[in-house]
Structure 1
Amino acid sequence: MSWRELLPPWLVIIAGLTGIVLLCVSTKDVPVTPFRTKYGIVVDAGPSRTILFIYQWTTTKANKTGVIRECSSCPVQGPGVSNYSDSPQTVGKSLEPCLNWAQKEIPAEQHSQTPLYLGATTSKRQMNLTHHLAALTVALKSSPFDFQGEKILSSPDKEAFNWVAVNYVLENFFKYDWRGQLVPSGKGMAGVLSVGGTSIQLTSKVEENQAPEDGVRLQLYGQMHNVYTRHCPCHGTDQLRSRLLSMLIQDQRSAKTVSNPCWPLTYSREVQWQSVHTGPCALSDDTLDVPGPEEVFNISGSSNPTACIRLVQSLLNSSSCSFFKHSLSSVFKPLQTRFLVISEAMDFMRETVPSPDLGQATNRLCGMSVKELVKESQKSLDTLVDYCIVSAFIFHLSTKGYTFDFDGSIWTAFQKKMGDTSSSWTLGYLLSLTNTIPQDSPSFLKGIEPGVWSLLLILFVMLLTGSFMRISYRVMVKENSFNNRNSSVFDDN
């Protein structure tokens, strides 16, 4: 028997041996990490408005905490939950358009796997909020998403989550290296100064051995952070204005028109005494000659930045707020922290009078005319004229040793990523919750060692090459035989 006749069975034997080798070669499970996008929903049920936020991130985590990349939001039509005291059931119906919007934004196959959280920020005056949240809960439970429950956030909780959002956006927790890998940033944590209508909050990280009992402990990206908020009532925008006007009226009681150096020229307003001198934030009366509650005063702007700053300083020097006491630095070390200010007044100042020097920027803002103020913003003039008082207040804090970050590029990047900064706590809230969201289990593929794989690949190539050569040879033999027969036929003829 010739080798040509033995070749086919030998090829079959080689193929069989190859199959046996494949069955005997040891394999190992190779994990394949799923990279699909995950979603999370947070409903901010605030006292004045309700907003639904959708966040998305990949399944990859950094030390058990998620890396959130994008956000979209849907403002709920109507007032906040506290305004539905007469008809709590209406609260749930008002949420339906945004829930329908969320179902379109998130792929249908992921609806049941998308966690949905309800968070509410409230004050001590709103004791009936539980009834309103119950109506919201019914609507959220009926949605196709995975409702995780409700949480009423205290002021320290909200400010702590604001702090998380700010430092996350500023990449103070981690950063991406040149390979695209997440690595510790090596930067310190920024503080946050939030200026509200009635009060201000100063939030910063404190050391473990100095953490007060009412602080907030957060586990983020493999590290524990102790965050503490110093709350200062009576120093928000509205209260600063009222206290300042009250002091001016008492100082200039004999004048027909009270001059206010913090307001621009040609701007004036009639103010009733009881509107600026009432409640726990009212200044104490230094004289017996106190105006009557119904007495009205004409307050006229004189646009004097130097006098305004001096007036605000005299108002705050007598403040009982712990912000102004240097003894705080030895305990909580706020003077060693760089703070980002969240305030409409500071936003306006960054855009209209950008300057690295806070004192110069404050002087320029307090020296702006009514025409200049209105030209630079669409807000009402009654709101714009108070920005000078707030900027003078921030400048006063800077003279006490606090450092504020007014870098326009940083703030622009922050606003671009955060969008609605007044609800930035929702981002910090979800980031902390990603620690409890289980990471998708990776799928596995069977794999063999590279050397064995290379050997088997060569064996298969040789087998295929031999088979191809054998087929080619057989075809050539048949063609030659056919040609020879035809040639002999022609020769016989």
Structure 2
Amino acid sequence: MLKHLLGRDIRSLLAVAAASGIATLILILVQVKDVYLPARTKYGMVFDAGSSHTALYIYQWPADKENGTGIVSQAEACTVQGPGISSYADNPTRAGASLTACLDKAMTIIPVKQQRETPTYLGATAGMRLLREQNSTKADLVFAEVSKTIQQYPVDFRGARILTGNEEGSFGWITINYLLETLIKENLTSQQISHPCYPKGYEENVTAAALYDNPCVPAPVAHDPSQILTVRGTGAPAECRSAIQKLFNFTACGANRTCGFNGVYQPPGHGQFFAFSGFYSVFHFLNLTSGQPLSNVNATIEQFCAKDWKELKMVSPGMNKTRLQDYCAASTYILTLLLQGYKFDNQTWSKIQFHRQVAAVDVGWSLGYMLNLTNTIPLEAPDQVKGQRPDLWAAAVLTTCLTLAVILWTGLALGYQRRFATYETML
């Protein structure tokens, strides 16, 4: 009798286990979908080698991209210590050595497994453009040294090149629109030269070659490039403004043609305008980036250009004074370009916003450059796995546990059945 009952219970348990197993299989197979894993992050680096300094920008974007262009964000920015690479024309090895600290920092940010596939570029602007015009051999040597240094790191270095002015402007335009969602010689002979854009009392000795095509201080017509000249500031705002204006040709437009300067067509401006990079840094130093009216801007630049050198050093005690003497010329140039070149006036001045960053990203040509270059990086398809709705997956886990429990009980019942069978045989 007991054997009969056990046999019936075991058959029932087997039936339950079979039903539960079938239910589990159905739940696992029903509505299984391909699920895409999150795209891995890719990295790229751009050196912005400007005339006064170099900066390294590290960018990142998801590997699957969007419409062929990486959704690029800034992972890190590193300012290279020292002047721009063009300043090392007479000692090019120092140009390469100056990049190592920022490259070392980059290697701590980019995962080791991805460093060798990280595209790395160096773009040079005004300083190297001028050096190439003056001495192309020295420019090539500087590029050779910076390239040699970068190639010592495990990155995919894709070359160093000089950007044209048009490229620099275009990539800067891409950047801002992307971010708004809409880059001791011996004193042989001496000659004193006045510099109206430098503050009164400022003085430095430079070679005649360094004054090549300087709008404020033209070098003598007949001169030895190695001759040492003493440049003394006169702090004359009106003369500085007059010298800067000579850089532009404001009369080249025909009577029926709209243009800014040098005969180049320029449509009437409308909408908001953003000034960044050198525009921002110069006006930020003068505290003119908070929407001040044009009258205040003019007065501030006028007063600054008239300051004595000793006074200027006293009111700016905490800043690096290596380019302090240049802020008068730079601010006068910017104001001339905006007012007489781009035709801003009292009514439209408020449409200009001065920014260093937008959405926590430095504004310049380098991001636009990176955005353009990511179009050449092959699209990486995200990894796929089989996935299921959470509720169905939970039900499958439950029925699996039930099946295992039934199988366990069946095993126990079979064990008891064998014991009873052995006991009856012994009787």
TM-score (norm 1): 0.57
Superposed counterparts of 1:25-424, under 5 Å: 25=30, 27-34=32-39, 36-46=40-50, 49-59=53-63, 61-66=65-70, 67-75=72-80, 80-81=85-86, 83-85=88-90, 91-93=95-97, 95-121=99-125, 122-123=128-129, 124-128=133-137, 129-168=139-178, 171-172=179-180, 174=181, 185=182, 245=196, 267=200, 279=213, 308=238, 312=241, 316=245, 319-321=248-250, 327-328=258-259, 331-336=265-270, 338-341=272-275, 342-343=278-279, 344-351=281-288, 354-367=290-303, 370=308, 371=311, 374-376=314-316, 378=319, 380=321, 382-386=325-329, 389-390=332-333, 393=336, 396-397=339-340, 400-401=343-344, 403-404=348-349, 411=355, 413-414=357-358, 417-418=361-362, 424=364
Q: Does 1:445 align with 2:385?
A: yes
Q: Contact 2:14–2:407 (CA<8 Å) still a contact in 1?
A: no
Q: Which amino acid aligns with 1:382?
A: Q
Deviates further, 448-457 or 8-17? 448-457
Q: Which amino acid aligns with 1:320?
A: N
Q: Contact 2:13–2:406 (CA<8 Å) still a contact in 1?
A: no
Task: Report the CA distance between 1:21 and its aligned residue.
Answer: 3.9
Determine which structure has greater relative contact order: mean sequence separation of CA pairs < 8 Å that are 6+ residues apart, divided by chain length: 2
SS in 2 for 1:6: helix
Task: Report the CA distance between 1:39 and its aligned residue.
Answer: 2.0
Cα deviation per residue 1:99-138 (whole Å; 9 max; x = unaligned)? 3333233222222222222333332334223343234334
Q: Which amino acid aligns with 2:73?
A: I
- Per the alignment, residue 371 of structure 2 pairs with 431
Q: Contact 1:268–1:299 (CA<8 Å) still a contact in 2?
A: yes
Cα deviation per residue 1:280-299 (whole Å; 9 max; x = unaligned)? 95899xxxxxxx99x99998
Q: Contact 1:362–1:395 (CA<8 Å) still a contact in 2?
A: no
Q: Which amino acid aligns with 2:298?
A: T
Task: Report the CA distance between 1:63 and its aligned residue.
Answer: 2.8
Structure 1 unaligned residues grouped into runs of 5+? 175-184, 186-191, 193-240, 246-261, 285-291, 478-493
Q: Identity across aligned pairs (percent)?
A: 23
- Alpha carbons of 1:401 and 1:8: their partners in 2 closer, same or farther (altered >3 Å)? same
Greater strand percent: which structure? 1
SS in 1 for 2:134: coil
Task: Report the CA distance between 1:334 and its aligned residue.
Answer: 4.9
Cα deviation per residue 1:152-205 (whole Å; 9 max; x = unaligned)? 32222222222223333xx33x2xxxxxxxxxx4xxxxxx9xxxxxxxxxxxxx
- Alpha carbons of 1:12 and 1:63: their partners in 2 closer, same or farther (altered >3 Å)? same
Q: Contact 1:59–1:439 (CA<8 Å) still a contact in 2?
A: yes
- Alpha carbons of 1:435 and 1:300: their partners in 2 closer, same or farther (altered >3 Å)? closer
Task: Report the CA distance between 1:6 and its aligned residue.
Answer: 2.6
- Alpha carbons of 1:269 and 1:405: their partners in 2 closer, same or farther (altered >3 Å)? same
SS in 2 for 1:65: coil
- Alpha carbons of 1:9 and 1:113: their partners in 2 closer, same or farther (altered >3 Å)? same
CA RMSD in angstroms comes to 5.2
Distance 2:365 2:314 in 1: 31
SS in 2 for 1:73: strand
Task: Report the CA distance between 1:442 and its aligned residue.
Answer: 1.0
Distance 2:232 2:359 in 1: 38
Distance 2:357 2:169 in 1: 21
- Per the alignment, residue 12 of structure 2 pairs with 7
Task: Report the CA distance between 1:51 and its aligned residue.
Answer: 4.1
Task: Report the CA distance between 1:33 and its aligned residue.
Answer: 2.6
Task: Report the CA distance between 1:400 and its aligned residue.
Answer: 3.0
Distance 2:266 2:352 in 1: 25
Q: Contact 1:33–1:442 (CA<8 Å) still a contact in 2?
A: yes
Distance 2:333 2:172 in 1: 21
- Alpha carbons of 1:461 and 1:407: their partners in 2 closer, same or farther (altered >3 Å)? farther
Distance 2:203 2:124 in 1: 37
SS in 1 for 2:136: coil
- Per the alignment, residue 215 of structure 1 pairs with none
Q: Contact 1:271–1:299 (CA<8 Å) still a contact in 2?
A: no
Q: Which amino acid aligns with 1:145?
A: V
Q: Contact 2:48–2:54 (CA<8 Å) still a contact in 1?
A: yes
Distance 1:94 1:399 in 2: 37
Structure 2 unaligned residues grouped into runs of 5+? 184-193, 224-228, 417-427
Distance 1:299 1:50 in 2: 28
Q: Contact 1:355–1:361 (CA<8 Å) still a contact in 2?
A: no
- Alpha carbons of 1:385 and 1:58: their partners in 2 closer, same or farther (altered >3 Å)? same
Aligned residues: 367
- Per the alignment, residue 236 of structure 1 pairs with none
- Per the alignment, residue 187 of structure 2 pairs with none
